[in-house]
Amino acid sequence: MTVIYLDLLGIYLLNLLVTVAMFTVLVFRAWVEHKNYRMMWKELEWRKTCETARKLLNAEKNLFTKVEGGEELYEMLCELFNTKENNM
């Protein structure tokens, strides 16, 4: 009878160990996914910012030519926001 209890206790402890290990793996995977999600979200925000800046730079191109040093500023902003058309 005591042999059966030791076997059951061993099985219960093994089950507990496996459950804790699975929980640890799930927490680690959730942490990695959360980290990737934040990185993707920042990249998406940067793309939206670049797109808005492109539209603004293209719309206000003439304003930059009227100001002293505006051409250099326009070229630097175009380079910063990865606009295709950065020549005046």
Number of separate domains in the chain: 1
CB 70 within 8 A of CB 63: yes
pLDDT at 66: 84
- pTM to 2 decimal places: 0.55
Is residue 85 domain-resident?
Answer: no
pLDDT in tens, the chain (88 residues): 566 667 888 899 999 999 999 999 999 999 999 999 999 999 999 999 989 988 888 888 888 888 888 888 888 888 888 876 544 4
For the four alpha carbons of 76, 81, 86 and 88, in that order, the dihedral sign comes to negative
The number of CA neighbours under 13 Å toward the Cβ of 77 is 19
| Residue 74 burial (C-beta neighbours within 10 Å; 0-12, 13-18, 19+) | buried
Q: Note whether residue 68 is domain-resident.
A: yes
86 occurs within a structural domain: no
Closest CA to 73 of 86, 59, 85: 86
88 belongs to a structural domain:
no
Please tell me the predicted confidence (pLDDT) of residue 44.
93
Residue range(s) defining the domain that contains residue 32: 2-80
